[in-house]
Chains A and B, each alone.
Chain A
Amino acid sequence: MTSLFALVLAAILGLLAVASAIGFILQRRATEPGSVATVHNLNARIRSWWIMVAIFGGAILLGDTAVVILFAFLSFMALREFWTLTPSRRGDHLALFLSFFVVLPVHYVLLGTLWYGLFAIFIPVYAFLILPAVATLTGDVNEFLARSARVQWGLMLTVYSISHAPALLMLQTGTPSALLLVYLVIVVQLSDVFQYVWGKLLGKHRFSPNISPSKTLEGLIGGGASAILVGTLLYRLTPFSPLQAAAVSTVIVVAGFFGGFVLSAIKRDLNAKDWGYVIEGHGGVLDRLDSITFAAPLFFHIVRYWFTT
C-alpha cells in the first residue's frame, strides 16, 4: 500500500504546487476589484487544501485508528456547525447533549471495534427512537415532529453518513482498504474542484439559482466528467476493473453532487451562506464534506456487497 499511496500523495502535492503557482500568477495579474476578490478566495482555498491534504494524508500514514479519530472529530465539528445554524428549543437540550457526547462517540467506537451489525443500526434505529423519547421528558410539544426530525437528520448527515468513509477501513477486498478511502476522497473532492474550475472558466447557465447560485450546468458536466475520468484512471487503487471504476466513479460523482445540493438547500432554508468558518476560503467542515455525506454510504455499500471477499 505504502508505495502506491506515496505515488498518489506525490501526485496530489505536485498538483497543489501547480495550483499555488497559478494562484500566484493570477494574483499578480488581477486588477479589477471583482477578479481580485475571486483570486483572493481561490488562493485561500488552495492554502486550505495544503492543510487538508497534510491532515488527511498524515492520518492515513498513522494508521486506521488515527483515521477513525480524525473522522470522529470532523463529525463533531460538522454536527456543531449544523446546530449552530439550526434552531432548537430548551426541550431539545438533553437530546443535543446526548447527540454530541453519547451517540457520536458510541457510533465511532462501534466503527473502531469493527462491530458492523450495531454500527449500521445504532443511529437510524436506537438513536432515532431514544432521542425523541428523551425530548418528551420536558413536556414541550411545540413543533415536536419537526424538532425530532432535525435532531435525527443532524446525526444522519454529520455522523452516520460521514462515518461511512472511514468505515471503508472495515472492508476486506484484497486491496488495502485505506486506499479505498483515499480513492473516495479523491474522486469526491476532485469532482468539487473540477466543477468549480469549469464553472469559473466557462460557466454560463445557472443550474439552480435558488439552491446553489454559483453552480452552473457547464461546471457540473465538465467537472463530473473530469472526475469520472480521474476515477477511472485510478482503478489500480481499488479492486475494480477500469470499467467498474468508471461506473463506481459515476455513482460517487452523482451522489456527491446531490449531497452538495441537499446541504445547500438546508443552508438556504436557514438563511446561511456557509456552514462555518474554520476552513479559510471553503467555509466550514460541512461545506467541505457535504458531497461526502451522500457519496460515502453509497460507495461503502457498493464495495461491501460486490467486492468484499
Chain B
Amino acid sequence: MIPVIRRLLVLFVRIMVGARSEWRGCSPDTRRRIYFANHNSHVDTVAVMAALPYQVRRLTHPVAARDYWGTSAFRRFIAEKGLRAVLIDRKPLPDSNPLEPLERLLEEGRSILIFPEGTRSATEEIAPFRSGIYRLACRFPDVDLIPIHLDNLQRILPKGSWLIVPITCTARFGKPLRVEPGEEKNAFLARARAAVIELADGGAAR
C-alpha cells in the first residue's frame, strides 16, 4: 500500500509541476550523497524527490522540520511514509544533536536531502546557509555534496498560499563538492551557497 501511495505521490507531482531533472555537474548515482537545495515552497521536497530516478529516490531521505511536518497525522504520514523523510527539530534542546538521525542514515549508506536555508524564504533570494551542512560535510569528508537549484517554486506555491499553479519546475543538479582540508565554516557555507546560485542562471533561457 505505502509503495503505491509513494508512486501516486510522485506521479501527482510530475503532473502538477513537471519535476524535471537536469543533470549538469554530475549524473544519477546510488552512492550515498548529501543533496542540498534552495528552499522556497512546500513543493520543493517532493519536486526533488520526483526528479530523482527511482533507484536513487528509494535510497534518499529528505529532511523535514518536525515543527511543521510533525503537527498532524496527515502531514506526518505524507512526510514519513510518502517521502521517507526524517523529521528533525529546528530548535533542538541544548546538549542534543539534531543531526543524529541524518548521520545514522549516512552511516547506513543512504543519501539525504537537506535545505540549508533552514526555512522557506519569502523571496527568490537564497538565504544564508545554516551550519548543519558544514558539520555533516566535516563528519563525512568522503561523501559528495550535490548542489541542487529549483526554479519557479516561488511561483508554483508561494509562502502563505495553498493554491498550486502548475508551472514546470526544473531541478538542476550541479558539480559535487566536499569540504576542503582546513576550510572554515563560513567559507564553506558561502561556497556551497554559491554553487546553488550558479545553477540558477538562465532558467528561462534554456
Q: A88-B155, A90-B158, A277-B20 are in contact. Are A97 and B165 (CB under 8 A)?
A: yes
Instruction: Pick from B20, B154, B165, B204: contact of A272, CB below 8 A.
Output: B204
Q: Which residues on B sit within 8 Å (CB–CB) of A29?
A: none
How many contacts A-B (CB < 8 Å)? Answer: 42
A273 to B164, CA, bound (A): 26
Stretch of A77-85, A244-252, A253-261, A293-301 that contacts chain B: A77-85
Instruction: Answer yes or no: B98 CB below 8 A from chain A CBs.
Output: no
Instruction: Answer yes or no: B206 CB below 8 A from chain A CBs.
Output: yes
Q: A84-B152, A93-B158 are in contact. Are A271 and B165 (CB under 8 A)?
A: no
Instruction: Answer yes or no: B27 CB below 8 A from chain A CBs.
Output: no
- Map CB proximity to B onto A169-194 as digits: 1 under 8 Å, 0 otherwise: 00000000000000000000000000
Main secondary structure of the interface of A (DSSP, over half): helix
- Map CB proximity to A onto B163-200 as digits: 1 under 8 Å, 0 otherwise: 11111100000000000000000000000000000000
CB of B163 within 8 A of CB of A93, answer yes
Q: Which residues on A sit within 8 Å (CB–CB) of B158?
A: 90, 93
CB of B20 within 8 A of CB of A271, answer no
Main secondary structure of the interface of B (DSSP, over half): loop
Instruction: Answer yes or no: A129 CB below 8 A from chain B CBs.
Output: no
Instruction: Answer yes or no: B161 CB below 8 A from chain A CBs.
Output: yes
CB of B204 within 8 A of CB of A100, answer no
* Residue of chain A at shortest CB distance from B204: A85
Q: Which residues on B sit within 8 Å (CB–CB) of A271?
A: 202, 204-205
CB of B155 within 8 A of CB of A80, answer no
A278 CB to closest chain B CB, in angstroms?
9
Q: Which residues on B sit within 8 Å (CB–CB) of A81?
A: 168
Instruction: Answer yes or no: A96 CB below 8 A from chain B CBs.
Output: yes
Q: Which residues on B sit within 8 Å (CB–CB) of A87?
A: 204
Q: Interface centre among B152, B154, B204, by most A CB within 10 Å?
A: B204
Instruction: Answer yes or no: A233 CB below 8 A from chain B CBs.
Output: no
Instruction: Answer yes or no: A265 CB below 8 A from chain B CBs.
Output: no
A307 CB to closest chain B CB, in angstroms?
38
B91 CB to closest chain A CB, in angstroms?
28
Q: A88-B155, A94-B163 are in contact. Are A80 and B168 (CB under 8 A)?
A: yes
Instruction: Answer yes or no: A224 CB below 8 A from chain B CBs.
Output: no
Q: Which residues on B sit within 8 Å (CB–CB) of A203?
A: none
A270 to B155, CA, bound (A): 17
Q: Interface centre among A81, A83, A84, A271, by most B CB within 10 Å?
A: A84
Instruction: Answer yes or no: A276 CB below 8 A from chain B CBs.
Output: yes
Interface size class, chain A: 20 to 34
B107 CB to closest chain A CB, in angstroms?
38
A29 to B152, CA, bound (A): 43
CB of B206 within 8 A of CB of A272, answer yes
Q: Which residues on B sit within 8 Å (CB–CB) of A273?
A: 206
CB of B168 within 8 A of CB of A276, answer yes
Q: Which residues on A sit within 8 Å (CB–CB) of B18?
A: 80, 84
A176 to B206, CA, bound (A): 42
A190 CB to closest chain B CB, in angstroms?
30
Q: Which residues on B sit within 8 Å (CB–CB) of A276?
A: 168
Q: Which residues on B sit within 8 Å (CB–CB) of A85?
A: 204
A91 to B161, CA, bound (A): 11
Q: Which residues on B sit within 8 Å (CB–CB) of A270?
A: 204
Q: Which residues on B sit within 8 Å (CB–CB) of A96?
A: 155, 165, 167
- Map CB proximity to B onto A74-115 as digits: 1 under 8 Å, 0 otherwise: 001000110111011010011011001000000000000000
Q: Which residues on B sit within 8 Å (CB–CB) of A93?
A: 155, 158, 161, 163, 165
A86 to B162, CA, bound (A): 22
CB of B168 within 8 A of CB of A100, answer no
Q: A88-B155, A93-B158, A277-B20 are in contact. Are A83 and B165 (CB under 8 A)?
A: yes
B128 CB to closest chain A CB, in angstroms?
22
Q: Interface centre among A88, A93, A97, A271, by most B CB within 10 Å?
A: A93
11 contacts between A and B (CB under 8 A): A80-B18, A84-B18, A84-B167, A90-B158, A93-B158, A93-B161, A93-B165, A100-B165, A271-B204, A272-B205, A276-B168
Query: Measuring CB to CB, which residues of chain A are less than 8 angstroms from any residue of chain B?
Result: 76, 80-81, 83-85, 87-88, 90, 93-94, 96-97, 100, 270-273, 276-277
A-B CB proximity, top 8 nearest: A271-B205, A97-B163, A84-B168, A96-B165, A83-B167, A84-B167, A97-B165, A85-B204
